[in-house]
Chains A and B, each alone.
Chain A
């Protein structure tokens, strides 16, 4: 285990943002930041990669659309349904495309259902969120009003001195918890 971890606690999102910027400038290794709410611009400062959640939603949506089309095609046009042909409003099931207007609603709903649910599941999986998952924040106040930065350090004294100038309200080592 790496014990060279220091926690700096802040009580304001703007101060946090400028401090993290300064830490990055000083080439400190910022391991993680815990915040009570999404701080606008923090991901840029931390140089986090752009998340690809939206892309997954798009892919899942395409899968849903394909699934819906195949399902409806099988049931209404090609498959076993043939033995029970139905003529609804003068529209017998000749081809998929001639009946498409009445398939659109279900195709749309299936697209949304796949995109919405599978993306949410991906989100839970990627963030390791599930019932029974344990909280990892070192300080419970980070869900209330405090912002915690986890930094790897070489020399505690030096880092502490620097962190104090940035406006941290509490600084402590990981082991003296």
Chain B
């Protein structure tokens, strides 16, 4: 029943038993945090508070405290929004698409990747919210009957599509994540001693929804996971496509191009996987998950980064080529200005970080090296931020009317809010890493016999 080709590398290192998986997954939850955790957490909290301060300042004073101007009326905020949403995509890809493709290696990383998705989307959601200026009226974006007359939201607007897409994405991902978490919470619940730690027992009992692992429940669990994966796959495509349509439905040169939906999706997966790597390379070290998140996992992720990075590269070249090929002079100028205008450095960083640097992953030694991977993943994160910046700002700053051409520079508030979201993200992620089972242990146990290194050795000898 556990047939697997011998040329496949093991996905679980060491001589593990089911019980070992339980103990090692529960360890970070049961143990005490080390000083690295506290240092990182402290730093993140400071950043987060600074960001919250900047947000409070923005709301108190008005959007004028940002660097936006009449020509560039969308810049830093939407760049961050798209960047965070993009990062969120890898989580759903790992848990949904790779589930449909029966990729066993997803089991070690899907939990953390999904957590990252949810925390990333929360950061993304902050930006449109504060850009409203009056966030307490945010509910106006929903189609609710109101007493001000027959005013409704406009379903022709891509911004409204975003409201639906992101709220669906955030809630459905959360439910998907939670359904997978229930059996693992139950595992932790059953390990907590009620006499020593009654509060913890109570908490995990509540979180685990009374899960007992009945055969019928597992049967439903598997079907529900599969259906949710089937729903989440088109969902994840739709969300970033709709984000891209915020730009692509317009008539701005550099924004209006048909490749945007799939290209944004690929770019999002690209940046999302980079962020997963950044996080997991730290996590596997800090909470001793090296046996489960192996070099092979990192290599697989690097291959996906190589693939999506190259596809994004093809999309860049396609855009550039089509701008010239179209014969439309505005199109041509927009791209010429992108590459050689005053923001050439942003374009150059984007090209270097997103297209050139990931090509290093063709080299086996680099894609199986942890330090190299960590460094490269940071480059990709930076590159993808610049990609959005390039698309948004360079297309706007020289518009159809040369007298209104101008430049954008962020204020300290812009930068503060962005740093604040990074802090907030890490606060959430670090808290998650201490209270949640970071590896989907129940699923992990199902592949132990086919992909555990000791089991594979025995199989191969036979």
Contacts and interface: CB of A to CB of B under 8 A. Distances in A.
Instruction: Consider the complex of A and B and state whether they touch directly, i.e. have CB atoms less than 8 Å apart.
Output: yes
Given A34-B214, A141-B190, A116 B175 contact: yes
Interface residues of B, number: 69
Given A34-B213, A37-B183, A145-B22, A132 B223 contact: no
Interface stretch (B126-134, B395-403, B438-446): B438-446
B150 A129 contact: no
A170 interface: no
Interface string A33-47: 111111111110010
A109 B161 contact: yes
A16 to B, nearest CB: 10
A65 B216 CA distance: 30
Most buried by A among B152, B179, B210, B213: B213
A1 interface: no
A38 B221 contact: yes
Interface stretch (B81-89, B165-173, B368-376, B414-422): B165-173
A91 interface: yes
A132 B206 contact: yes
Given A34-B212, A108-B234, A119-B227, A127 B217 contact: yes
Contact of B212 (A40, A137, A144): A137
B222 to A, nearest CB: 5
B337 to A, nearest CB: 25
Contacts of B217: 127, 129
B380 interface: no
Interface string B150-170: 111111111011001101100
A106 interface: yes
Contact of B213 (A46, A84, A102, A142): A142
Given A53-B223, A75-B143, A108-B234, A86 B154 contact: yes
Contacts, number: 212
B223 A105 contact: no
Contacts of B428: none
B207 A75 contact: no
Contact of A140 (B179, B190, B218): B190
A76 B210 CA distance: 45
Interface of B: 1, 17-19, 22, 143, 150-158, 160-161, 164-165, 167-168, 171-172, 175-176, 179, 182-183, 186-187, 189-191, 205-224, 226-228, 231-232, 234-235, 238, 242, 245, 249, 442-443, 445-446, 449
29 contacts: A14-B1, A34-B213, A36-B187, A37-B445, A38-B442, A39-B215, A39-B446, A40-B446, A42-B215, A43-B215, A51-B216, A72-B155, A76-B152, A81-B150, A88-B154, A99-B156, A105-B158, A105-B245, A108-B238, A113-B171, A115-B227, A116-B231, A124-B209, A127-B217, A130-B209, A132-B210, A133-B209, A136-B212, A143-B190
Q: Which 9 A-B pairs have the closest CB atoms?
A: A133-B210, A80-B150, A145-B18, A129-B209, A140-B190, A137-B212, A109-B164, A105-B161, A38-B218
